[in-house]
Amino acid sequence: MSPSVPLQEMIRAIRSARTQCEERGVIQRECAAIRAQFRQSDNGGRSHNLAKLLYVHMLGYPAHFGQMECVRMIASPRYSEKRVGYLGAMMLLDEKQDASLLITNSIKNDLSHSNQYVQSLALCTLACMGSAEMCRDLAPEIDRLLRASNSYIKKKAALCAVHIVRKVHDLGEMFAPAARSLLSEKNHGVLHGAVVLITELCERNLETLEKFRKAVPDLVQIMKGLVISGYSPEHDVAGISDPFLQVRILRLLRILGHNNEAASDAMNDLLAQVATNTDSTKTVGNAVLYETVLTVLDIKSESGLRVLAVNILGRFLLNNDRNIRYIAMISLQKIVGTDHNAVQRHRGTIVDCLKDQDASVKRRALDLSLALVSASNIRSMMKELLIFLSSCPLELRSQAASGIFIAAERYAPSQRWHIDTILHVLTTAGGDVRDETVPNLIQLITNASELHCYTVHKLYRALLTDISQQSLVQVACWCIGEYGDLLLRGECQETEPVQVSEDDVLDALETVLQSHMSSPATRGFALTATMKLSTRITDNVDRIRSIVSIYGSCIDVELQQRAVEYNALFKKYDHMRLSALLLCLFFPQVCDLLDLLGGSEETLQPSPAAGGTAPGLPANTASTAGGDLLDLLGGLEPAPLTPAPTVQVYEKDGVTLTMSCEKQSATGLTVTLTASNSTESDISSLTLQAAVPKVCNEDTLVTDKLTAPVNLKMRVRISYSSQGSAFQDTIQIDAFPGLSAAGH
Partner 1 sequence: MIKAILIFNNHGKPRLIRFYQYFAEDMQQQIIRETFHLVSKRDDNVCNFLEGGSLIGGSDYKLIYRHYATLYFVFCVDSSESELGILDLIQVFVETLDKCFENVCELDLIFHMDKVHYILQEVVMGGMVLETNMNEITTQVDVQNRMEKSEGGLSAAPARAVSAVKNMNLPEIPRNINIGDINIKVPSLSPF
Q: Which of residues 257-296 bind partner 1 (CB under 8 A)?
A: 283-284, 286-287, 290-291
| Contact code string over 381-420 relative to partner 1, x by CB under 8 A | --------------x-------------------------
CB of 255 to partner 1, least distance (A): 11
Cα–Cα distance for residue pair 272/11, rounded to 1 Å: 55
Taking residue 378's Cβ as centre, other Cβ atoms within 10 Å add up to: 19
Nearer to partner 1, 161 or 712 (CB): 161
CB of 322 to partner 1, least distance (A): 4
CB of 685 to partner 1, least distance (A): 49
Q: Applying CB under 8 A, does 609 fall inside the site for partner 1?
A: no
Q: Are strands 646-652 and 725-733 parallel, antiparallel or unpaired?
A: unpaired
| Beta strand segments in 516-557, E | none
Q: Do residues 63 and 95 touch, judged by C-beta distance below 8 A?
A: no
Q: Among residue numbers 182 through 221, which ones bind partner 1 (CB under 8 A)?
A: 188-189, 192-193, 196
Q: Applying CB under 8 A, does 506 fall inside the site for partner 1?
A: no
| Contact code string over 137-156 relative to partner 1, x by CB under 8 A | ---------------x--xx
Distance of CA 422 to the CA centre of its chain: 22
Q: By CB under 8 A, which span of 4-12, 24-32, 270-278, 663-671 interacts with partner 1?
A: 4-12
Cα–Cα distance for residue pair 312/346, rounded to 1 Å: 12
Q: Do residues 67 and 99 touch, judged by C-beta distance below 8 A?
A: yes
Distance of CA 244 to the CA centre of its chain: 31
- Choose which of 159, 423, 479, 486 interacts with partner 1 (CB under 8 A): 159
Q: By CB under 8 A, which span of 77-85, 523-531, 558-566, 617-625 interacts with partner 1?
A: 77-85
Taking residue 206's Cβ as centre, other Cβ atoms within 10 Å add up to: 9
With H, G, I as helix, E, B as strand and everything else as coil, classify residue 412. coil
User: Residue 497 region, left (φ>0) first, then alpha (ψ -120 to 50), else beta?
Assistant: beta
Q: Applying CB under 8 A, does 75 fall inside the site for partner 1?
A: no
Taking residue 531's Cβ as centre, other Cβ atoms within 10 Å add up to: 24
Q: By CB under 8 A, which span of 125-133, 591-599, 648-656, 706-714 interacts with partner 1?
A: 125-133
Q: Applying CB under 8 A, does 239 fall inside the site for partner 1?
A: no
Nearer to partner 1, 156 or 306 (CB): 156
Half-sphere exposure of residue 314: CA atoms within 13 angstroms, side-chain side: 14
Nearer to partner 1, 353 or 463 (CB): 353
Half-sphere exposure of residue 45: CA atoms within 13 angstroms, side-chain side: 16
Cα–Cα distance for residue pair 686/669, rounded to 1 Å: 24
Q: By CB under 8 A, which span of 92-100, 476-484, 498-506, 719-727 interacts with partner 1?
A: 92-100
Tally of residues, the chain? 744
CB of 192 to partner 1, least distance (A): 7
* Residue-wise burial string across 396-425, b where 16 or more C-beta atoms lie within 10 A, e elsewhere: bbebbbbbbbbbbbebbeebbebbbbbbbb
Nearer to partner 1, 250 or 472 (CB): 250
Q: By CB under 8 A, which span of 119-127, 499-507, 552-560, 730-738 interacts with partner 1?
A: 119-127
Single-letter code of the amino acid located at 477: C
Distance of CA 346 to the CA centre of its chain: 26
Q: Do residues 408 and 382 touch, judged by C-beta distance below 8 A?
A: yes
Cα–Cα distance for residue pair 286/614, rounded to 1 Å: 65
Nearer to partner 1, 330 or 594 (CB): 330
Q: Among residue numbers 36 through 55, which ones bind partner 1 (CB under 8 A)?
A: 44-45, 47, 51, 54-55
Q: Applying CB under 8 A, does 683 fall inside the site for partner 1?
A: no
Quick one: DSSP state of residue 633?
A: B
Nearest to 552 by CA among 535, 571, 533: 571
Nearer to partner 1, 91 or 639 (CB): 91
CB of 237 to partner 1, least distance (A): 7
Q: By CB under 8 A, which span of 208-216, 237-245, 424-432, 613-621 interacts with partner 1?
A: 237-245
Nearer to partner 1, 84 or 554 (CB): 84
Cα–Cα distance for residue pair 580/727, rounded to 1 Å: 10
Nearer to partner 1, 395 or 592 (CB): 395
Q: Applying CB under 8 A, does 638 fall inside the site for partner 1?
A: no
Sheet holding 683-691, edge to edge: 683-691, 714-722, 725-733
CB of 169 to partner 1, least distance (A): 16
- Choose which of 33, 58, 568, 576 interacts with partner 1 (CB under 8 A): 58
Q: Among residue numbers 360 through 379, which ones bind partner 1 (CB under 8 A)?
A: 360-361, 363
**By rule CB under 8 A, what count of residues binds partner 1?**
79
Quick one: DSSP state of residue 628?
A: E
Q: Applying CB under 8 A, does 256 fall inside the site for partner 1?
A: no
- Choose which of 84, 165, 423, 688 interacts with partner 1 (CB under 8 A): 84
- Choose which of 33, 59, 228, 609 interacts with partner 1 (CB under 8 A): 59
Nearer to partner 1, 41 or 341 (CB): 41
Q: Applying CB under 8 A, does 94 fall inside the site for partner 1?
A: yes
Nearer to partner 1, 70 or 513 (CB): 70
Q: Applying CB under 8 A, does 3 fall inside the site for partner 1?
A: yes
Q: By CB under 8 A, which span of 8-16, 380-388, 456-464, 644-652 interacts with partner 1?
A: 8-16
Nearer to partner 1, 360 or 546 (CB): 360
Backbone angles phi, psi at 225, to 5 degrees: -60, -40
DSSP code string of 283-329: HHHHHHHHHHHHHHHHTT--HHHHHHHHHHHHHHHT-S-HHHHHHHH
With H, G, I as helix, E, B as strand and everything else as coil, classify residue 236. strand
Quick one: DSSP state of residue 597?
A: P
Which residues pair with residue 256 across a beta bridge?
none
Secondary structure tally for the chain: helices H, strands E: 32, 11
CB of 8 to partner 1, least distance (A): 5
Q: Applying CB under 8 A, does 79 fall inside the site for partner 1?
A: yes
Nearest to 567 by CA among 589, 587, 544, 588: 544
Nearest to 445 by CA among 431, 433, 459: 459
Q: Among residue numbers 316 through 335, which ones bind partner 1 (CB under 8 A)?
A: 321-323, 325-327, 330
CB of 228 to partner 1, least distance (A): 20
Q: Applying CB under 8 A, does 65 fall inside the site for partner 1?
A: no
Q: Applying CB under 8 A, does 8 fall inside the site for partner 1?
A: yes
Crossing angle of helices 520-536 and 502-514, rounded to 10°: 160
- Choose which of 70, 160, 220, 513 interacts with partner 1 (CB under 8 A): 160
